[in-house]
Structure 1
């Protein structure tokens, strides 16, 4: 391998914007933004039912808006 052509691999700290949990991992990037992590994502927490319910409510509200526009 050629010398001095590879990016520097280092340990970086980043904070999840949803739950403010700090994570440390290796990366070649200077800064990484996390919107959702394994501590707050519905798939990992087992709170998937609320996500489904929220989707149903949003879908109902869209249908309700359409019916109000046609009347």
Structure 2
């Protein structure tokens, strides 16, 4: 394995870790400052409960004016 390949592989792994940390921090701050109303983890919980794209979009506020809103 060449040195360049090892270096590139390491850089990609490091970049992926940094991206995970940044997304974790964004989510944590988003949830904290929205008092638990918004964030990636909040959307994930809603999606897991609904598992319906249209209802999920209405619930998280991406779409409005639904006839059978909750």
Normalising TM by the smaller chain, what interval?
0.3 to 0.5
Query: Higher relative contact order at CA 8 Å, sep ≥6: structure 1 or structure 2?
Result: 1
TM-score (structure 2 length as normaliser): 0.36
Structure ranking higher in strand proportion? 1
Structure ranking higher in helix proportion? 2
TM-score (structure 1 length as normaliser): 0.36
